[in-house]
Chain A
Amino acid sequence: MVETGHFALVLAFVLALVQFAVPLAGARLRDERMMAVAEPVAITGFALTALSFAALVMAYVQSDFSVLNVYENSHSGKPLIFKITGTWGNHEGSMLLWVLILTFFGALVAFFGRNLPATLRANVLAVQGLVGAAFLLFLLATSNPFTRIPNPPLEGRDLNPILQDIGLAVHPPLLYLGYVGFSICFSFAAAALIEGRIDAAWARWVRPWTLAAWLFLTGGIAMGSYWAYYELGWGGFWFWDPVENASFLPWLTGTALLHSAIVMEKRSALKIWTILLSILTFSMSLLGTFLVRSGVLTSVHAFATDPTRGVFILAILVMFIGGSLALFAWRAQALTPGGLFQPVSREGALVLNNLFLTTAAATVLIGTLYPLLVEALTGDKISVGAPFFNMTFVPLVLPLLAIVPFGPLLAWKRADLAGVSQRLMAAFGGALLVTAAAFVVSDAASVFSALGVGLAAWLVLGAATDIALKAGIGKVRAGIALKRLAGLPLSAFGTALAHAGLGLTVLGIVAVTSFQVERFETMRPGDTLDIGAYSLRFEALRPFQGPNYTEDRGHFTWLDGDRELGEIVSAKRVYTARQFPTTEAGIATRGLSQMYVSLGDADSEGGIVVRAWWWPLVTLIWIGGLVMMAGGAVSLFDRRLRVGAPSRRARPPKAAEAAAG
C-alpha cells in the first residue's frame, strides 16, 4: 500500500506536467482536443493524489513503523483519531495534504467549469497543473512521506503532544483549503493575462472561488487562534507570530480581492488591480508556506527543517511570484480599463477598503520580514513583536472599521454621502449609547476601551441598518417589509453577516485586552483566589492516568460569592512516550466569557502555583469569525453567483460565446 501511494504520487506528478503543457499548447493552437485533455487529467491527478494520501493515512492507522514518517511522528498507543490526524501533523504529511487540496481545487474547476469559455478553462487548468507539478516535485524530491526504514523499529517516537488535540483535525485542513483555494484565483488571473482578455464573466467566476477560499481561511485562522488559546496554557489568542502573520497576510489581501472583485463584476472597473490582487494573494500563501517550512524565522510552528527544502520552496516562490508579475507587467496593458466613477460612490468606498487593507497587509509583511532583512544586512538579530504591530497595523485598520457601515449603503457610480450619513444616524446614536454605557460600566477605566466597544457596536448596528433599509423596515407595512426581506439577494445578507461578525470579533478583542483580570498565586488545598467578581477555591490535586499520558489534576470550585458555579479541572500532563510535559488549562464558560485556570510548578511546601484569568467576552473573538464564515457561505449560495455550478439552461449560449471568442 505504501509503495502504491508513492507510485500514485509519481504518476500524479507526471499528469500534472501533462495538465500544464497540453492544454496550454491547445489554447494557443485553438486545438479543441488538446484543450479537452485538461479536464480528465485534472480529475485523475486529484484521484491519484487522494489515493496517495489514503495510503499514508492507512500507514498511520496501522502504525506501520517501517515508514520513516510514521515512525517519527506516531505511536501505537495513540488514540485512533490522533493516529489519523497525525498524518498531517508533520512536514511531509501536511505538504501532501496541501497538494491534495490543490489538486482537489483543480478537479473542481474541471468538473464545474464546463460552461467556461474553452480557452480560459484550458489556461486556468494549465496554470493549476504547473503549480501542482512544482509542489509534487518538491514532495518527491525533498519531503517524501513514503521513505522506508531498512530495519523497522517496534515502536514509534510519538506525535508532539501539543498536536494531540482535536485542533489538529480541523485547523490545518481549513487553513489549507483557504491558502490553496487562492491558487484558483491565481490561475484565473494568470489565464486572463495569457489570453490578454478579461470581462465581467471572468469576475463572476473568480468571486465564488475567492469567497470559498476566504471563508475557509477565516475559519482556519479563527480555529488556530482558539487552539493556541486553550492549548498553550496562557490564553493568548493572537501573538503576531511570523507564522500567524503568514496566514493573516493572504487573509488581508484576500479580503481586499473579495471587495475589488465585486467592483469588477458589477461595474467592470478595477480590472488590472483585481488581477494584481489575485496574484499577490496567492503569492502571500506561497510566502507563508516558505516561511513555515524553511525555518528562517523563529515561530511556534516548528517543523523539522532542512535547508534544501527552504531553497526548493524559495525557488518555487521566485518562479511563481516572479513569473506571474512578469506576465502581469507584460500583458496588463492589453486589458481594457473599465467604467469610471465618482470618488464618493460604492466603487470609491471599495477602493478605499482596498487601500486600507493592502497598506495594512504591507505593514504586517514588513514587520514579518524585517528581522530577516536586518540579519542578512547587518548580522544583528532582532525581533519584531506585538508592540510593532500595535503601533502600525492597529491605527491603520481603525479608520477602515469606522467606515465599513457606509460602504454597502453607498450607491454605485455616484452616491450621496450626506443622505447615507443621515440614514446611519440611528446606528451612530446606538453606538454612542453603547460607548457611554461601556464607559460607565467599566468605572470610567479607559476612554479608548469604551470607544473600542462603541466601534464594535457601530459595525454590528451598521450591518443591521443596511438590511433594515434594504427591506424598508419602518417605512412600509410589516408584511411588505417581511416579503422584501425574503426577496433580498443572499449576498446582501452575506455582506451584513460578515460585517457584523467583524464587529463581534472587534468587541471580543477590545473586551479581552481592556477588561481581562489576571491573578497568580501559590495555593494549597482549601485556599481561595479572588479574581474579578468571582473566586476560585482550590480543592485538591489528584493523579490521573490517560491512554498515553499521566497527569496531576487540580480541582477547583468556581464561586460567585457563596454560590458554586461549577468545577474547573486544570492539569499538568506528561506524555509517557516522549516524557513531554504540557499544561492542560481548565476552562469554564459563562455566557460569552471564560474563566481560565492553568497550573504552574509545585513549590517545596506542598503548594502549587496557580495562574488564573477572567476573559470577558473572549468567545466573541471566534464567534465573530464563525459569523464571518457564515456570511461568506450565505453569499456563496446567492443564485446570482451560481454561474459556477453546472446549469443546463446556461450552457448553449455560453458554448456559443466560447465558439465566438
Chain B
Amino acid sequence: MTRKQKRLSVIFGGLAFLGIATGLTFVALGQKTSYFYMPGDLEESAVAPGQRIRLGGLVEKGTVERGQGTRVAFGVTDTQATVRVAYDGILPDLFREEQGVVTEGAFGPDGVFLADSVLAKHDETYMPKEVADSLKEKGVWQE
C-alpha cells in the first residue's frame, strides 16, 4: 500500500465507524423511544394495542384493587378520562391514591393498559414532571 492509500483507508475506516454509529442512533431513536400520554390524550392520538408507551396521571381514588399474589389494578386519570391499568409486581413505596404516577407498557386487546413498570417518585412532594406539566396545561393542578 502506498502512503496515500494507507491514509485514505484510515480516513474511510473512521468515517465508516461514524456512519455506523449515526445509523444505529437514528434507528434506535425511531424504535426504542416511547411516547408519553395522559389518559385524555389517547382519544385523539391512535395508539395501537401492543405499541409501547408511557402513561401518566393521578391514581384515581378508590380504584386500587389487589388481586392474587402481586397482581394489582388501578385507574389512572387526568380528570378528563380514566384508563384501567393492570400490573404484576411490587408497587413503589410512594404509590398512593391521588398521587402522580407514570406507568410504562402497552395496551392489551381489551383496552386495559398492561404495565410492566410503575414509577412514583422518591419524594413526597414530587409529581412526575410530565404529569405535572400536562395537568397544569389542563388547569387541573397548580403548584
A385 to B53, CA, bound (A): 12
B21 within 8 A of A: yes
Q: How many residues of B contact A (CB 8 A)?
A: 38
Check B32–A384 contact: CB distance below 8 A.
yes
Q: How many CB-defined contacts (below 8 Å) exist between A and B?
A: 111
CB distance from B22 to the nearest CB of A (A): 9
B84 within 8 A of A: no
Considering the complex, which residues of chain A in the window 337-358 have a beta carbon less than 8 Å from any beta carbon of chain B?
A: 343, 355-356
Considering the complex, which residues of chain A in the window 609-642 have a beta carbon less than 8 Å from any beta carbon of chain B?
A: 609, 611
A545 to B20, CA, bound (A): 57
Of A194-202, A452-460, A598-606, the one with at least 4 CB within 8 A of chain B: A598-606
Check A600–B21 contact: CB distance below 8 A.
no
Given known A302-B123, A302-B126, A381-B130, contact A598–B93 (CB-CB < 8 A): no
Considering the complex, which residues of chain A in the window 579-605 have a beta carbon less than 8 Å from any beta carbon of chain B?
A: 579-583, 598, 600-601, 603-604
* A233 proximity list for chain B (CB < 8 A): 93
B27 within 8 A of A: yes
Check A392–B10 contact: CB distance below 8 A.
no
Q: Which of A232, A355, A380, A611 touches B35 (beta carbons < 8 Å)?
A: A380
Interface-centre pick from A232, A295, A356, A388 (highest chain B CB count, 10 A): A388
Given known A300-B122, A381-B130, contact A603–B32 (CB-CB < 8 A): no
Of A284-292, A362-370, A433-441, the one with at least 4 CB within 8 A of chain B: A362-370
Considering the complex, which residues of chain B in the window 62-110 have a beta carbon less than 8 Å from any beta carbon of chain A?
A: 66, 69-70, 89-91, 93-94, 104
B6 within 8 A of A: yes
* B33 proximity list for chain A (CB < 8 A): 370-371, 382-385, 388
Given known A355-B17, A582-B93, A600-B91, contact A383–B54 (CB-CB < 8 A): yes
A521: nearest chain-B partner, CB-CB:
B69
CB distance from A557 to the nearest CB of B (A): 22
Check A355–B14 contact: CB distance below 8 A.
yes
A533 within 8 A of B: no
* B40 proximity list for chain A (CB < 8 A): none
Given known A343-B10, A382-B36, A581-B94, contact A302–B28 (CB-CB < 8 A): no
A596 to B69, CA, bound (A): 20
Q: Which of B10, B24, B121, B130 touches A363 (beta carbons < 8 Å)?
A: B24
A609 to B70, CA, bound (A): 7
A371 to B126, CA, bound (A): 20
Q: How many residues of A contact B (CB 8 A)?
A: 49
* B66 proximity list for chain A (CB < 8 A): 601, 603-604
* A297 proximity list for chain B (CB < 8 A): 129
* B89 proximity list for chain A (CB < 8 A): 520, 611
* A234 proximity list for chain B (CB < 8 A): 90
* A380 proximity list for chain B (CB < 8 A): 35-36
Considering the complex, which residues of chain A in the window 17-66 have a beta carbon less than 8 Å from any beta carbon of chain B?
A: none
* B69 proximity list for chain A (CB < 8 A): 520-522, 609
Q: Which of A162, A381, A580 touches B36 (beta carbons < 8 Å)?
A: A381
A371 to B29, CA, bound (A): 10
Check A388–B32 contact: CB distance below 8 A.
yes
* B27 proximity list for chain A (CB < 8 A): 391
Check A388–B28 contact: CB distance below 8 A.
yes
* B28 proximity list for chain A (CB < 8 A): 367, 387-388, 391-392
Check A295–B129 contact: CB distance below 8 A.
yes
A396 within 8 A of B: yes
* A578 proximity list for chain B (CB < 8 A): 124
B25 within 8 A of A: yes
B18 within 8 A of A: yes
Check B17–A359 contact: CB distance below 8 A.
yes
* A232 proximity list for chain B (CB < 8 A): 122
CB distance from A7 to the nearest CB of B (A): 32
In the complex, per-residue mask of B108-139: 1 if CB is within 8 Å of any chain A CB, else 0 = 00000000000001111010111001100000
A392 to B32, CA, bound (A): 10
A355 to B117, CA, bound (A): 36
Q: Which of B9, B24, B70 touches A600 (beta carbons < 8 Å)?
A: B70
B51 within 8 A of A: no
CB distance from A392 to the nearest CB of B (A): 5
Check A384–B70 contact: CB distance below 8 A.
no
A298 within 8 A of B: yes
A298 to B9, CA, bound (A): 43
Q: Which of B18, B31, B34, B133 touches A359 (beta carbons < 8 Å)?
A: B18
A160: nearest chain-B partner, CB-CB:
B123
Check A392–B122 contact: CB distance below 8 A.
no
A591 to B17, CA, bound (A): 40
B45: nearest chain-A partner, CB-CB:
A380
A395 within 8 A of B: yes
A504 to B79, CA, bound (A): 51
A387 to B128, CA, bound (A): 21
A297 to B130, CA, bound (A): 9
A578 to B89, CA, bound (A): 26
A233: nearest chain-B partner, CB-CB:
B93
Considering the complex, which residues of chain A in the window 370-402 have a beta carbon less than 8 Å from any beta carbon of chain B?
A: 370-371, 380-385, 387-388, 390-392, 395-396
Check B93–A581 contact: CB distance below 8 A.
yes
A609: nearest chain-B partner, CB-CB:
B70
A295 to B121, CA, bound (A): 14
A579: nearest chain-B partner, CB-CB:
B124
Check A392–B25 contact: CB distance below 8 A.
yes
Check B24–A601 contact: CB distance below 8 A.
no
Check A385–B34 contact: CB distance below 8 A.
yes
Interface-centre pick from A232, A234, A382, A578 (highest chain B CB count, 10 A): A382
CB distance from B50 to the nearest CB of A (A): 15
* B70 proximity list for chain A (CB < 8 A): 520-522, 600, 609, 611
Check B36–A383 contact: CB distance below 8 A.
yes
Known: A382-B35, A392-B25, A520-B90. 12 other contacts (CB 8 A): A295-B129, A302-B122, A367-B25, A382-B33, A383-B33, A385-B34, A391-B28, A578-B124, A580-B94, A598-B90, A600-B90, A609-B90
Q: What 4 pairs across the A-B complex have the smallest Cβ distances?
A: A381-B36, A600-B90, A387-B32, A391-B28
Query: Can you list 6 residue pairs at the A/B interface with Cβ under 8 Å?
Result: A160-B122, A297-B129, A298-B130, A370-B29, A371-B33, A381-B134
Interface residues of chain A, those whose CB is within 8 Å of chain B, are 160, 162, 232-234, 295, 297-298, 300, 302, 343, 355-356, 359, 362-363, 366-367, 370-371, 380-385, 387-388, 390-392, 395-396, 520-522, 578-583, 598, 600-601, 603-604, 609, 611
Interface residues of chain B, those whose CB is within 8 Å of chain A, are 6, 9-10, 14, 17-18, 21, 24-25, 27-29, 31-36, 54, 66, 69-70, 89-91, 93-94, 104, 121-124, 126, 128-130, 133-134
